[in-house]
């Protein structure tokens, strides 16, 4: 039986694998390249302001909901106040119109019908589908593995009534649905909320459904505090985390296979300082490409896995401009996308809208009476990679982006320029440096109408061909990424370890 496990990465997936490993009697240790837990789920401080880099909404935030139990087991939500917004976001038009995306579906429907009375039928279809997925997520237990035939039948019976809708909206892009609105403002606003290429309607409907159920709230304290709670749980369970420890290589040994092929097994890791750490099993919860192509030197790969890395689209990286301002913005809507009178050029790309958030709903983010503003743009990795070769040019571009954003915000929030007390610009290079994610991707594989079946079907393999005692967890084996998938995949990795050892998996609350 494998009783020691090395885990690569202390993001949410790695921490989750560590917690469940400890709960199941394994001696685990995590090697993390950064000096703190969380990976992408992080925040950072500048001059008494906390700039959050991740959580907008946390699926499973409501006690008793389908996913909440995992967060409870990981000690992430106990005693943590959740904010459920009445407005998901507000999309504004040139002529002063605004689509307020209310999280209550009835209110959303009434508002959309007032905004675009000629589109009542499309609005009704949209809201009915959102209600269906709200009900669907209430009945689904995303956590319990079906134990036998009865469980599988009962799960099938719960999914069956929704199969048609899952297929329909999984294959329909948001852009295609938006094109059905006759009202020009509504058509454009609808396509703007999730402005991602070929992004399925299903993802939008599920998100609105979760918010309607008050099960996708924001945890007060933000992303780093959330990750630190799971780190605490892991340490309390007896786990060990080694920070500033970059894994360079996964150690493998050849063993005779059960068939004619030589099989290998993972036996530990080598760090960049040359030290080796052996274990009975290895779980990589780090970047998928770095794991397969670098740490394992491309040895354990087949056409299917190569195909993922050659063909599948990823969530593009972002530039995040964070500002600390001596002004209370709590009367402003917390998330707005608005059109610019003059377009803004960021990293060589022209943007005609600005997506602006303030975090006043979380008093821990800024001193009393002050606010944090976050503006994000999807950005080109190669542009920043090239600039990153020359520190001066890179810094100058960051400064330029900050100046341009502040100039534009001044038009909307007059006087803001003089109230700024902290400025930070994080680029795709920042994300890559601190988390090792391929091209600074913010969420791994992008779900599209073509790949949605992979998410709903059998999913991506968590093991590699020809390699035993090795498992993968995290956003690079869970298309669509996100915190719940990361946590669940760490749990799944330990379920697989237990299954291989022939022992029942167990999970406890703290």
Ligand X SMILES: Cc1cc2nc3c(=O)[nH]c(=O)nc-3n(C[C@H](O)[C@H](O)[C@H](O)COP(=O)(O)OP(=O)(O)OC[C@H]3O[C@@H](n4cnc5c(N)ncnc54)[C@H](O)[C@@H]3O)c2cc1C
Show the site string, 288-317: x = touches ligand X by CB under 6 A, - = not: --x---------------------------
Other Cβ atoms within 10 Å of 400 Cβ, number: 14
Show the site string, 242-281: x = touches ligand X by CB under 6 A, - = not: ----xx----------------------------------
Residue selected from 92, 287, 362, 432 as contacting ligand X according to rule CB under 6 A: 287
Task: Give, as ranges, the residues between 326 and 365 that touch ligand X (CB under 6 A).
Answer: none
Q: Any contact of residue 207 with ligand X (CB under 6 A)?
A: no
**Sole window of 31-39, 78-86, 298-306, 336-344 interacting with ligand X (rule: CB under 6 A):** 31-39
Residue selected from 19, 23, 40, 467 as contacting ligand X according to rule CB under 6 A: 40
Residue selected from 7, 281, 372, 442 as contacting ligand X according to rule CB under 6 A: 442
Phi-psi bin for 9: left (phi > 0), alpha (psi -120 to 50), beta?
left
The label of the residue with tokens 């040359």 reads 274
- Considering beta carbons, is residue 217 or 466 the nearer one to ligand X? 217
Residue selected from 5, 7, 19, 41 as contacting ligand X according to rule CB under 6 A: 41
Task: Give, as ranges, the residues between 51 and 110 that touch ligand X (CB under 6 A).
Answer: 53-57
Q: Taking the mean position of all CA atoms in its chain, how far away is CA 279?
A: 29
The Cα 137–Cα 102 span in angstroms is 19
Residue selected from 109, 215, 231, 443 as contacting ligand X according to rule CB under 6 A: 443
Q: Any contact of residue 384 with ligand X (CB under 6 A)?
A: no
- Give the burial class of 269: count Cβ atoms within 10 A of its Cβ; 0-12 exposed, 13-18 middle, 19 or more buried: buried
- Considering beta carbons, is residue 123 or 245 the nearer one to ligand X? 245
| Element holding 18 (H helix, E strand) | helix 12-23
The Cα 443–Cα 378 span in angstroms is 12
β-pair partners for 99: 91
Show the site string, 116-155: x = touches ligand X by CB under 6 A, - = not: ----------------------------------------
CB of 324 to ligand X, least distance (A): 18
The Cα 353–Cα 356 span in angstroms is 10
- Considering beta carbons, is residue 123 or 451 the nearer one to ligand X? 451
- Considering beta carbons, is residue 171 or 246 the nearer one to ligand X? 246
Report the largest interatomic distance among the alpha carbons of the chain, rounded to a whole angstrom.
73
The Cα 26–Cα 372 span in angstroms is 42
φ and ψ at residue 227, rounded to 5 degrees: -65, -40
| Element holding 255 (H helix, E strand) | strand 247-256
Phi-psi bin for 415: left (phi > 0), alpha (psi -120 to 50), beta?
left
Binding site for ligand X (CB under 6 A): 8-14, 31-34, 39-41, 53-57, 246-247, 285-287, 290, 318, 435-437, 442-443, 474-475, 481-483, 486
């Amino acid at each position: 039986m494998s009783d020691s496990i090395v885990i690569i990465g202390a993001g949410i997936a790695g921490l989750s694998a560590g917690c469940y490993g400890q709960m199941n009697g394994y001696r685990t240790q995590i090697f993390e390249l950064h000096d703190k837990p969380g990976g992408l789920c992080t925040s950072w401080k500048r001059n008494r302001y906390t700039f959050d880099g991740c959580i907008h909404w946390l699926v499973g935030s409501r006690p008793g909901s389908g996913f909440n139990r995992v967060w409870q087991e990981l000690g992430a939500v106990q005693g943590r106040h959740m904010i459920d917004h009445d407005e998901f976001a507000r999309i504004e038009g040139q002529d002063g119109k605004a689509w307020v995306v209310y999280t209550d579906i009835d209110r959303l429907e009434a508002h959309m019908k007032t905004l675009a009375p000629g589109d009542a039928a499309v609005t009704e279809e949209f809201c009915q589908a959102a209600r269906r997925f709200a009900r669907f997520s209430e009945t689904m237990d995303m956590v319990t593995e079906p134990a036998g035939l009865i469980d599988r039948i009962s799960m099938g019976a719960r999914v069956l009534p929704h199969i048609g809708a899952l297929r329909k909206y999984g294959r329909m892009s948001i852009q295609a649905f938006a094109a059905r609105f006759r009202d020009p403002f509504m058509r454009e606003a609808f396509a703007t909320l999730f402005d991602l290429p070929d992004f399925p309607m299903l993802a939008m409907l599920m998100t609105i459904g979760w918010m309607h159920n008050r099960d996708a709230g924001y945890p007060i304290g933000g992303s780093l505090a959330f990750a630190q709670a799971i780190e605490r749980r892991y340490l309390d369970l007896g786990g060990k985390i080694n920070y500033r420890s970059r894994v360079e290589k996964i150690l493998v040994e050849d063993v005779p296979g059960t068939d004619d092929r030589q099989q290998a097994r993972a036996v530990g890791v080598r760090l960049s300082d040359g030290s080796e750490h052996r274990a009975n099993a290895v779980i990589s919860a780090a970047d998928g490409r770095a794991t397969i192509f670098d740490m394992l030197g491309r040895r354990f790969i087949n056409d299917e896995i190569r195909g993922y890395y050659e063909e599948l689209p990823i969530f593009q990286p972002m530039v995040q401009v964070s500002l600390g301002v001596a002004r209370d913005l709590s009367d402003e809507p917390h998330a707005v996308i608005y059109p610019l009178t003059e377009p803004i050029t960021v990293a060589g790309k022209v943007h005609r809208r600005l997506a602006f958030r303030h975090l006043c709903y979380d008093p821990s983010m800024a001193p009393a009476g002050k606010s944090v503003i976050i503006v994000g743009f999807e950005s080109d990795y190669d542009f920043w990679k090239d600039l990153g070769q020359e520190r001066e040019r890179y810094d100058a571009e960051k400064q330029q982006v900050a100046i341009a954003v502040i100039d534009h915000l001044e038009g909307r929030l007059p006087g803001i320029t003089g109230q700024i007390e902290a400025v930070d610009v994080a680029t795709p290079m920042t994300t890559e440096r601190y988390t090792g994610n391929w091209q600074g991707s913010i969420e791994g594989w992008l779900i599209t109408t073509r790949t949605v079946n992979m998410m709903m079907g059998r999913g991506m393999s968590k093991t590699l061909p020809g390699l035993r005692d090795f498992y993968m967890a995290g956003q690079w084996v869970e298309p669509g990424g996100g915190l719940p998938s990361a946590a669940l995949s760490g749990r799944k990795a330990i379920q697989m370890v237990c299954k291989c050892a022939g022992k029942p998996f167990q999970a406890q609350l703290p």
